Amino acid sequence: MESIVNKSEELVDEFSFFEDWADKYAHIIDLGKNMPPLEDHWKTPEHLIKGCQSNVWLHAELKEGLVYYYADSDAIIVKGLIGLLVRIFSGQPPAEIVHADLSFMNQIGLQQHLSPTRSNGLASMVKQIKMYALAFQANKS
């Protein structure tokens, strides 16, 4: 299993290849396009992330002590952003997700280049990912 730190470093390296933000946005869009589709039965109000301008659905499962996330959005950039987070956090132990360092988002430049509403939505996505992990961690102990 690759750690959150290693996955984050790989993502920062990947984004460092792009010279400008138009290319980085294009890469984020590609990440969204390459996500497996979320099954329709998870596209429910209970799975909608509050605080996002677009519809973003997030489902999580605990399998053999690791949290797996499945997500989708009706907005292509937002789908790429949630895909980026799923890539980093899926397949990790709940405690590591809860305590994960999020500096990779600043290193990529997300905070500086997203609109305020998208930044708020990204924060809501991270919060929901961590809330699922916290719930799984609490149920384990």
Query: Of 31, 35, 52, 85, which one is the catalytic site residue?
Result: 52
Neighbours of 1 (CB within 10 A): 8
Q: How far is CA 5 from CA 44, 84, 101, 126, in A?
A: 32, 14, 8, 16
Tell how strand 56-63 and strand 66-73 pair up. Answer: antiparallel
Of the candidates 90, 81, 86, 15, the one whose C-alpha atom is nearest the C-alpha of residue 53 is 81
Based on the residue annotation, tell me whether 34 is a catalytic residue of this protein.
no
Residue with tokens 């384990």: 140
The residues annotated with a catalytic role in the active site are 52
